[in-house]
């Protein structure tokens, strides 16, 4: 899971994942969305691929990338206890504020 967190640390990589939500896309279409060279986008895709967040398919010289969401469910599972912690804290704050109004 460390690789997944490392991959998600980059805003560019998070944006690539967001773009892939709509379905598989060729690397050129992804690269057009960024103000960086195609090789730089390819490096970000490599990090995502190594973390298991994207899959790559080839058709001749063309590469298409697709979102692989399974590692994200592991992140969600890891974050769930923290979400519950903050919900409890906010509920307690709400109850405290309500009691002070009375």
d(CA 80, CA 77): 5
Q: What does the pLDDT average to over 1-25? A: 93
Above 80 in pLDDT, residue 2? Answer: no
Which tens digits make up the pLDDT trace of 63-85? 999 999 899 988 899 899 999 99
d(CA 67, CA 47): 13
Question: What percentage of the chain has pLDDT greater than the value 70?
Answer: 98
Q: Are 20 and 67 in contact (CB under 8 A)?
A: yes
17 Cβ contact list (under 8 Å, min separation 6): 48, 53, 54, 67
| Domain boundaries along the sequence of the chain | 2-101
| CATH architecture of structural domain 2-101 | Orthogonal Bundle (1.10)
Above 90 in pLDDT, residue 101? Answer: no
Model's pTM, two decimal places? 0.78
The closest alpha carbon to 54, from 9, 80, 10, 23, belongs to 23
């Amino acid at each position: 899971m460390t690789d997944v967190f490392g991959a998600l640390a980059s805003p560019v990589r998070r944006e690539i994942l967001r773009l892939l939500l709509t379905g598989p896309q060729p690397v050129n279409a992804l690269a057009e969305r960024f103000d960086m060279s195609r090789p730089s986008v390819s490096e970000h895709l490599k990090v995502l691929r190594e973390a298991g967040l994207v899959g790559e398919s080839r058709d001749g010289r063309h590469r298409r990338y697709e979102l692989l969401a399974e590692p994200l469910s592991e992140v969600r599972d890891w974050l769930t206890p923290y979400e519950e912690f903050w919900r409890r804290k906010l509920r307690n704050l709400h109850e405290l504020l309500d009691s002070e109004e009375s």
